[in-house]
Amino acid sequence: MQDWSWHRRAFASVAGAPIGWLLLFFIVPLAIVWAYSFGQNDGLTNIRISGTFANYAHAIEPLYLGIFLKSVAVAALTTAICLAVGFPVAMAIAFAQPKWKPWLLLLVMLPFWTNLLIRTYALLSLMGTRGIANGGLEKLWNGSSHVSALLGFGAFHAFEPVPLLYNNFAVIFGLVYVHLPFMVLPLYAALDRLDKSLIEASLDLGAGHFRTITRIVAPLAAPGIISGLIITFVPALGAYLTPDLMGGTDSQMIANVIERQFKRANDWPFGAALSFLLMYATFILIALQAMRNKKAEARS
């Protein structure tokens, strides 16, 4: 059977519009921003492309490099938590009865039906000083204090709200909440294709559940695990809304610094340099994954 792509007219008619759209609305704007990273401000509104690397040199200064490394650490911790939480969830869905799988997947994908901004404000109402979480803790505290007083141990001091917002904990919690479905879905896709007889054989031979998961399930699901790690880590690294709304002054990530350069500081060349440093890091991750896949295919 001949590859249809050899029919150039048919291939061009089908691929022409998407390629043109990609070039016009993605490649060209990206190239303009990349050119800005080698420029400098010439007045308030003009940018002169001078070919300078001063913006990149400024971007790797200790202040901004520290923020970038902190963003990497926050994204890595978010990804690790998503993996620890998402793997059991994906296993539960993969090994559930067929009639329940669509409903369980629906619950995982349900957050995508609501705008991210609305979900973030819902978290703010949940974790605020007078929010639902602190309200529940206050009722529990007051109830315990009342019981303690009745038993003669004396009442507790007044309840002080737990600072759940505007710190690093809030940022990581919000990022895990937002990106957990990105981890669960590729994990489920990999686990659902596993040969269940291998797992049954491992259990029958006395390996135990934990050893079966670490020695059989995890290696066979490695492609899905790696895909989930990348799909979760990359958007978490460039997250802007969650740190902006839920983080404090010490919880800002590199995307928030980039936003300030474009909007408040009006330093587009420096903001472009920071943006492309983030993009270079993303490309490196994707390239490493592609190289790993090629090595795996060569071995097989």
How do residues 28-67 score in pLDDT, each as one tens digit? Answer: 999 999 999 998 887 667 888 888 899 999 988 999 999 9
Is 97 a member of any domain?
Answer: yes
Lowest mean pLDDT among 248-257, 269-278, 291-300: 291-300
Burial 174-209 (b: 16+ CB within 10 A, else e): bbbbbbbbbbbbbbbbbbeebeeeebeebeeeebee
pLDDT, average across residues 224-245: 91
More confident: 223 or 173: 173
- Is the per-residue pLDDT at 246 higher than 70? yes
Would you state the structure tokens that stand for residue 256, as one six-digit string? 């928030």
Would you state the structure tokens that stand for residue 253, as one six-digit string? 């990530």
pLDDT, average across residues 144-163: 72
- Is the per-residue pLDDT at 2 higher than 60? no
- Calpha distance 46→156 (Å, rounded): 63
Runs of H (alpha helix) within the chain: 8-22, 28-36, 54-59, 62-94, 101-109, 116-127, 132-150, 168-192, 196-204, 209-212, 218-220, 222-237, 241-246, 254-263, 268-299
Is 24 a member of any domain?
Answer: no
Is 265 a member of any domain?
Answer: yes
Q: What pLDDT is attached to residue 232?
A: 93
- Calpha distance 138→4 (Å, rounded): 67
Domain count, the chain: 1
| Count of C-beta atoms within a 10 Å radius of residue 76 | 15
**pLDDT level of residue 298 (50, 70, 90 thresholds):** confident
Q: Which amino acid is at 219?
A: P
What pTM does this model have? 0.85
Evaluate whether 89 touches 183 at the Cβ level (below 8 Å).
no
Q: What pLDDT is attached to residue 6?
A: 59
Is 243 a member of any domain?
Answer: yes
Q: What pLDDT is attached to residue 197?
A: 83
Q: What pLDDT is attached to residue 153?
A: 67
Look-up: residue for tokens 């690790």? Answer: 80
Lowest mean pLDDT among 14-18, 65-69, 217-221, 293-297: 293-297
Look-up: residue for tokens 């903001």? Answer: 271
Instruction: Identify the domain containing residue 189 by its residue range.
Output: 61-117+176-299
**pLDDT level of residue 9 (50, 70, 90 thresholds):** confident
- Is the per-residue pLDDT at 5 higher than 80? no
Is 145 a member of any domain?
Answer: no
Is 156 a member of any domain?
Answer: no
- Is the per-residue pLDDT at 178 higher than 90? yes
Look-up: residue for tokens 């919690």? Answer: 173
3-state secondary structure of 162: coil
| Residue 101's CATH number | 1.10.3720.10
Residues 6+ apart with CB under 8 A from 207: 215, 216
Is 245 a member of any domain?
Answer: yes
Q: How far is CA 28 from the centre of its chain?
A: 26
- Is the per-residue pLDDT at 110 higher than 80? yes
**pLDDT level of residue 175 (50, 70, 90 thresholds):** very high
**pLDDT level of residue 152 (50, 70, 90 thresholds):** low
> pLDDT of 85-99, one tens digit each?
999 999 999 988 888
Is 291 a member of any domain?
Answer: yes
Q: What pLDDT is attached to residue 286?
A: 81
- C-alpha distances (whole Å) from 270 to each of 39, 46, 55, 60, 99 are 9, 14, 5, 11, 53
| Count of C-beta atoms within a 10 Å radius of residue 20 | 10
